[in-house]
Structure 1
Amino acid sequence: MNTDDRFYTWNGMPVDHREWVNELSIHGWKCRLDTSQFGPSRLNIARAGQALISSVEAAWFAVSPGSPHPSAAWNEERLIVQVVKSGVLFIEQLGQTSEVGPGDVVVLDPQRRFTEAFRETTRMSVLSIPKSSLRERGLPDRLPMLLRPNPALADVDAVRGLVLYLASLSDRASESILSRLGEQCIDLMEVLVDDRADPAMHRSVAANTLLAKRHIARHLADPDLNAERIAAELNMSRSTLERVLRASGLSVMSYVWSLRLERAAQRLVSDTSHGAIKKILFQCGFSNHAHFSRAFKAHYGMTPREYAAEHKEARSATMQQTPRHNVAGMGPS
Structure 2
Amino acid sequence: MHFDTHEITFDTGLSAGERWSHIMLNSHGLQCAFDPRQSIDSTVKSWTLGEVGVSLADLATQTLSPVGEELPSWQGGWLFVKLVTEGHVHVQSRGLVERFDAGSMFIIDPVYPFVEVFPERARMTVLRVPKERLRERGVYRSSAGPLVGDALSPDVRATCDLIQCIARQSTAPSVIAQNMMGEQLLELIEFAMIDPGARSKRRCPEALIHQTKRYIESHLGEAGLDVAAIASGVHVSSQHLQRLFRVKGMSLMRYLWQARLERAGLLLRTRGAHDSSIQEIAWQCGFTTAAHFSRLFKRQYGVSPSDFRFTVNQL
Q: TM-score range by the shorter chain?
A: 0.5 to 0.7
Partner residue, 1:126: 126
- How many Å separate the matches in 1 of 2:92 and 2:183? 30
Q: Larger C-alpha radius of gyration, 1 or 2?
A: 1
1:108 CA drift (Å): 0.4
2:185, 2:196 → 1: CA distance?
Answer: 17
Cα deviations across residues 210-252 of structure 1 (Å, max 9, x unaligned)? xxxxxxxxxxxxxxxxxxxxxxxxxxxxxxxxxxxxxxxxxxx
Shift of 1:192: 4.0
Q: How does 1:1-333 map to 2 (within 5 A)?
A: 11=7, 16-26=16-26, 27-35=28-36, 37-66=38-67, 70-72=71-73, 74-75=75-76, 77-171=77-171, 173-196=173-196
Q: What is the distance in 1 between the residues matched to 2:31 and 2:119? A: 17
> Matched residues in 1 for 2:127 and 2:80: separation?
6
- Contact kept? 1:84, 1:123, Cα under 8 Å: yes
Give the CA deviation at 1:195.
1.8
Q: Give the whole-Å Cα distance in 1 for the aligned partners of 2:106 and 2:93.
A: 13
Task: Name whichever of 63-72 and 52-61 sits farther off.
Answer: 63-72
CA RMSD of aligned residues (A): 2.3
Q: String of CA shifts for 1:258-317, please: whole Å, max 9, x gaps.
A: xxxxxxxxxxxxxxxxxxxxxxxxxxxxxxxxxxxxxxxxxxxxxxxxxxxxxxxxxxxx
Identity of aligned residues (%): 26
> CA separation in 2, counterparts of 1:179 and 1:70?
29
1:73 Cα shift? 5.3
Q: Deviations over 1:129-165 (max 9, x none)?
A: 0100011111124223111111221111121112211
* Count, aligned residues: 188
1:69 Cα deviation from its structure 2 partner: 8.0
2: distance between equivalents of 1:24 and 1:189? 24
CA distance change for structure 1 residues 123 and 69 in 2, over 3 Å: closer, same or farther? Answer: farther
- Please give the secondary structure, in 2, of the residue aligned with 1:188: helix
**Alpha-carbon distance, 1:114 to partner:** 0.6
Could you list the runs of 5+ residues in structure 2 that have no partner in the other structure?
1-5, 199-315
Shift of 1:40: 2.1
- SS in structure 2 at match of 1:187: helix
- In structure 2, distance between residues paired with 1:73 and 1:44: 20
C-alpha displacement of 1:67: 5.4
Give the match's secondary structure for 1:161.
helix
- Kept in 1, the 8 Å contact 2:24–2:32? The answer is yes
Give the whole-Å Cα distance in 2 for the aligned partners of 1:121 and 1:174: 34
Residue 68 of structure 1 deviates from its aligned partner by 6.7
CA 32–14 in structure 1, closer or farther in 2 if over 3 Å, else same: closer
Distance 1:55 1:174, change over 3 A: farther
Does the C-alpha gap of structure 1 residues 59 and 13 become closer, same or farther in structure 2, counting only changes over 3 Å? closer
Q: Give the TM-score normalised by structure 2.
A: 0.55
Quickly say closer, same or farther: Cα 1:69–1:58, change in 2 above 3 A.
Answer: farther
TM-score (norm 1): 0.52
Structure 1 equivalent of residue 269 of structure 2: none
CA separation of 1:61 and 1:69: change in aligned 2, threshold 3 A: farther
SS in 2 for 1:186: helix
Change (3 A) 1:71 1:38: same
The AA in structure 1 aligned to 2:195 is D
Amino acid at match of 2:140: P
